[in-house]
Amino acid sequence: MADDYELDLDDLQRRMEGAMSNLRTEFASLRTGRASASMLEPVQVEAYGQMTPINQVGTVNVPEPRMVTINVWDKSMVGKVEKAIRESGLGINPQLNGTIIMLPIPELNEERRRELTKVAGQYAEGARVSIRNVRRDGMEQIKKNKDSVSEDDQKFWEGEVQSLTDTYIGKVDKALETKQEEIMQV
């Protein structure tokens, strides 16, 4: 290998890991029929003049497998939190009990499960595209420096980038398979 050129594989790996992290967050927001506090992470509430995550206006708990509760700290925010949940597209009907909002998680029917597996597939494809974009950036860095890199070293670095890409695409595929099994589980 040439001493004067070294590709920053750590940067590429960090960016690919970012795509995986984003995918995990998106997967967590998909309902699987079980209650989870993370399903509320993408929901934002208009609070004090700005959009705020629900967990910053109240305490989110999962007291039982099919129930999520939100204990809203400020009474004036209860209506806004309820409205944000209704409009979030989660398909959950909030029930009020003072400053506590209860979210009963309904059973998923077969059709809704199939829709959710398609959504999971779309999320996974988005992650794959992100990972391929990082791969493309890495390959472009190698090509830009081809004057200072021997042909053998160039092939070596291209192989390293491709190997890293294959590893992360495999992780996306495995995560998707796991999530689809979880969704289809009755």
CB-CB neighbours of 181 under 10 Å: 11
Arch. (CATH architecture) of 9-27+109-184: Orthogonal Bundle (1.10)
Residue 108 CB-density burial (10 A; 0-12 exposed, 13-18 middle, 19+ buried): buried
CB-CB neighbours of 31 under 10 Å: 18
For residue 3, the model assigns a pLDDT of 45
As a whole number of angstroms, the distance between CA 10 and CA 14 comes to 6
For residue 1, the model assigns a pLDDT of 42
For residue 129, the model assigns a pLDDT of 96
Give the residue extent of every domain in the chain. Answer: 9-27+109-184, 43-104
Task: Report the interhelical angle of 151-184 vs 9-28 (nearest 10°).
Answer: 10
For residue 18, the model assigns a pLDDT of 93
Fold of 43-104: Gyrase A; domain 2 (3.30.1360)
Q: What is the pLDDT along the chain (186 residues), one digit of tens a residue?
A: 444 567 888 999 999 999 999 998 888 777 666 777 777 877 889 888 898 888 889 999 988 888 899 999 988 889 999 998 888 767 788 999 888 999 888 777 888 788 888 888 999 999 999 999 999 999 999 888 888 888 888 899 999 999 999 999 999 999 999 999 888 876
- What is the pairing mode between strands 44-47 and 58-64? unpaired
